[in-house]
Amino acid sequence: MSTHGTEAPRPIRIALLGCGTVGGEVVRLLTEQAGELAARVGAPLELAGIAVRRPDKHPELPPQLLTPDPAKLIESDADVVVELIGGIEPVRDWLLAALHKGKSVVTANKALLAECSGELSEAADSSGADLYFEAAVAGAIPLLRPLRESLAGDRITRVMGIVNGTTNYILSAMDSTGAGYAETLDEASRLGYAEADPTADVDGYDAASKAAILASLAFHSRVTVADVHREGIAGVSSSDILAAQKIGRVVKLLAICERVTAEEGAESVSARVHPVMIPRAHQLAGVGGAFNAVYVEADAAGELMFYGQGAGGAPTASAVLGDLVTVARNRVLAGRGPRESAHAALPIRPMGQTPTRYHISLDVADRAGVLAQVAQVFAVHDVSIAAVRQRDRLSTASLVIVTHSAPDSALQSTVDEISRLDVVREVVSVMRVEGEDS
């Protein structure tokens, strides 16, 4: 279908499900930039309807477009469904129905994608519809399209990033003020950087959903949120922050997705979210406040970094609009975007078998032979020590150890056994480390 004919092109009709902060921005941009967007798409973009829970609460929106019933819009003649409601049910059923009907879907729903992207992709494939979700990970940062398309000819080995702004804000604040976790969380809530119920952020659920989406795309495999090892930041103490500072590092909550190659050559995927000490010179260390940044390593491309705003109405709307222009263009040109690429189907590597490195800071008895005893525990568990620092008698944390890479379960067992040694008065801080130079 060409748009260069003499007849005016048919508008692309859009059903918008949900109209909160992001949806409001999407409507604003669709309206304000209507001419520009029509030129870029090759046809006007037209709102077919907007589903909101309480139409009477939206005097700013055209009343004839409003409906409290999303299912009605799925049944309508809309070409594209933009979903900004969130959560799994009943959204899952609506989007499956839309895709089966051949409507393309643009969604920012990370929880849904991290649980059912396979099912959604199959529905899209069955009818030839598009499924795009750039806004689901790292807000405005163009990250998924590069992973899905720009790096499609390369072999990605690692995706590691700061993908949750709330936890990054809290950890940055703890690092600069020295305050504890609970106090800093309170302050963040007061300032609006944390939700009233911050569980999804601080316990790492949000980041884990994003890790599942990133790992699926990077490794051409289906990875769901259940496959992601998850630890939040509630256990990060000011002792941890201080211990990190003492070795020139900073604590960040990272989503880490890796292609792990076993000795016999078999590949698997490790996806995890947990606090990590990274060197202060690392580019991710400088990412402060509510910003997001993601590192990607690929065989041919080498190291790449993507940086930008990870949340907020306008930035998220930018990502939604980008997807909307793409799927609308595909309609006009009778084309299709890339389908799900899950052909590699790599197995998930359990956290216990994932190679990690630990930092361990101990308060130990002030007598000879302590290091020998501690080192013996590492040796028994086949964990190799990279660096040891012993402090003088006046210091409280008197033994700091950073290990080489070992299976996470061996490191956990080592820490357990060390904590039970008579000579160890207190385990001051235990945290995984990433990045060289420690």
Of 57, 72, 101, 210, which residue is the catalytic one? 210
235 is in an annotated binding site: no
DSSP one-letter string for 400-433:
EEEE--EEHHHHHHHHHHHHT-TTEEEEEEEEEE
- Residue 66 marked as a ligand binder: no
- Examine residue 121 and tell whether it contacts its own copies (CB under 8 A): no
Q: Residue 433, annotated ligand binder?
A: no
Please, where are the H alpha helices in 335-398?
Answer: 370-380
Look at phi and psi of residue 271 and say left if phi exceeds 0, alpha if psi is from -120 to 50, else beta.
Answer: beta
Decide: is 8 part of the binding site for its own copies (CB under 8 A).
no
User: CA–CA separation, 132 vs 106, rounded Å?
Assistant: 5
- Residue 435 contacts residue 279 (beta carbons within 8 Å): yes
Stretch binding its own copies (CB under 8 A), from 95-103, 258-266, 317-325, 429-437? 317-325
278: which strand partners? 250
Q: Which is nearer to its own copies, 79 or 323 (CB)?
A: 323
Q: Which stretch binds its own copies (CB under 8 A): 151-159, 242-250, 376-384, 427-435?
A: 151-159
What is the distance between the alpha carbons of residues 257 and 206, in angstroms, rounded to a whole number? 15
**210 labelled catalytic:** yes
The distance from CA 185 to its chain's CA centroid, rounded to whole angstroms, is 20
Residue 151 in contact with its own copies, rule: CB under 8 A:
yes
Binding piece for its own copies, criterion CB under 8 A, among 181-189, 201-209, 319-327, 361-369? 319-327
Q: x/- site string to its own copies, residues 230 to 269, per CB under 8 A?
A: ----------------------------------------
Cβ proximity to its own copies, 126 vs 396, nearer residue? 126
Options 254, 298, 411, 415; binder of its own copies; rule CB under 8 A: 298
Rounded to whole angstroms, the Cα distance separating 244 from 240 reads 6
Rounded-to-integer distance, Cα 417 and Cα 236, Å: 21
336 binds its own copies (CB under 8 A): yes
Cβ pair 68, 54 in contact under 8 A: yes
Task: Give the active site residues.
Answer: 210
Chain positions contacting its own copies, by CB under 8 A: 25, 29, 33, 36-37, 39-40, 134, 140-142, 145-146, 149-155, 220, 283, 286, 298-309, 312, 314-315, 317-326, 329-330, 333-338, 341, 343-344
